[in-house]
Structures are given as structure tokens and as C-alpha cells.
Homo-oligomer: A and B are copies of this chain.
Amino acid sequence: MPKVSAEYTRARRAEIVTAARAVFARQGFAGTSMNDLVEATGMSMGALYRYFPSKEDLVVAVADGRDGTVDGEFDAQEPAAELVSRLLTYVSDGPEGATHARLVAQIWADAGLKPALARMVRTRHAALRDHLAARIAARPATGGPTKTDPADLAEFLLAAMIGYASLVATDHEFDRERFRDVADVIMSALS
């Protein structure tokens, strides 16, 4: 297999990342061996290391999945409430959701230990926060004076999303609908 199209390469990488994401979510980063990934992808060790020079690179690639974006782009028109709702849904609906929730928890934990991952996570988080802040600022005025800086509120709401994922990841039973409602009420009341 010589010269291979860039498209092929991209697809191959994506294939690996997708398979790895599932295994990582189930077993955690540390609990997943490269051999597990060989089995999960059906590829060989050599193939894996051709696309990702180290396990950590693969972890970063998995963590670098779209969060809050659709095809890598934010929807500039999406109302703040819908965005928040979408983010919550992302980590809570069905078995897929729990899977993703565990992954999110893993990522934030590892980001505290691996600088490369921390950099990536910080960048993504900042982008999402700024987007959310902009959407919050764009809400129709509720008459009363704005009570908090939209940026601060966005930061707070995103922190709550992270915590929400952690709770979901531990099979914590709580009313997810109500959690969403609280977020809505907060946005209504504070902006």
C-alpha cells in the first residue's frame, strides 16, 4: 500500500479514534492497553503506531472530539438555552450518553496530569465558553438589568455541565429534566 490519498489517511485515523473512544470510555485511559486497541480496531500494532506515535497522542486525539460544535463549527444562531440543552443531552441520553459522560470525566482528570492534554482542553473550553457567552448576550432583554457578565455566567454553566457529566458517569440517579430546568431558570433570571 504505497502512496495513499490524504482522504484515506484521514478516514483511517478517524476509524482508530472512533474505536479508541469507545474502549477508553469503557475502561478508562489507564485501563486500556495498546493491545486492547489492536483488538478493538482490528488493526495491527504497527498500523496503530503509524497513525499515532504514542498512546498519549491517541488520547489527545480522542479528547479532541467535537464538543458543542457541529462539523467543527458552532451554530451562530442557536439560542443559548438550546445550546445548553444540546450539551446536556450529549452526555446523558441513552447508553451512548453514559459512555460519553465517562469519557468526559476521564479527559478532565487526565488533563490535570498531562500538559499536552491540558492545553487542548483549555483551548476547546475557552472557545465553547466564549460562544456560549455570546449566545447569552444575544438573548432578548428581560426588562430587568443584567445581573451578571455573560462570560462569567457561561463559565459557571459550563462548569455545571462538566459536573453533570461526572455525575452521570457514576450512574448517579437524579432527575436530568430538572437539572436542565434549573439551567434554564438561571439563564432567564440572570441575563
Spell out A's residues near B (CB within 8 Å): 27-31, 101-102, 105-106, 108-113, 118, 121-122, 125, 147-149, 152-153, 155-156, 158-164, 166-167, 169-172, 174-175, 178-179, 181-183, 185-186, 189-190
Contact = CB atoms under 8 A, between A and B. Distances in A.
Given A109-B28, A109-B108, A161-B163, A178 B149 contact: yes
Contacts of A113: 27-28, 31, 102
Given A109-B109, A149-B178, A122 B170 contact: yes
A27 B189 CA distance: 41
A113 to B, nearest CB: 5
In the complex this chain forms, how many copies of it are found?
4
Contacts of A179: 152, 155-156, 159
Nearest to A154: B182
A79 to B, nearest CB: 20
Contact of A158 (B112, B161, B163, B169): B163
B148 A182 contact: yes
Contacts of A28: 30, 109-110, 112-113
Given A125-B172, A156-B183, 12 more contacts: A28-B112, A102-B113, A105-B105, A108-B166, A118-B171, A152-B181, A155-B182, A158-B163, A159-B160, A159-B163, A160-B160, A186-B189
A191 B186 CA distance: 11
A30 to B, nearest CB: 3
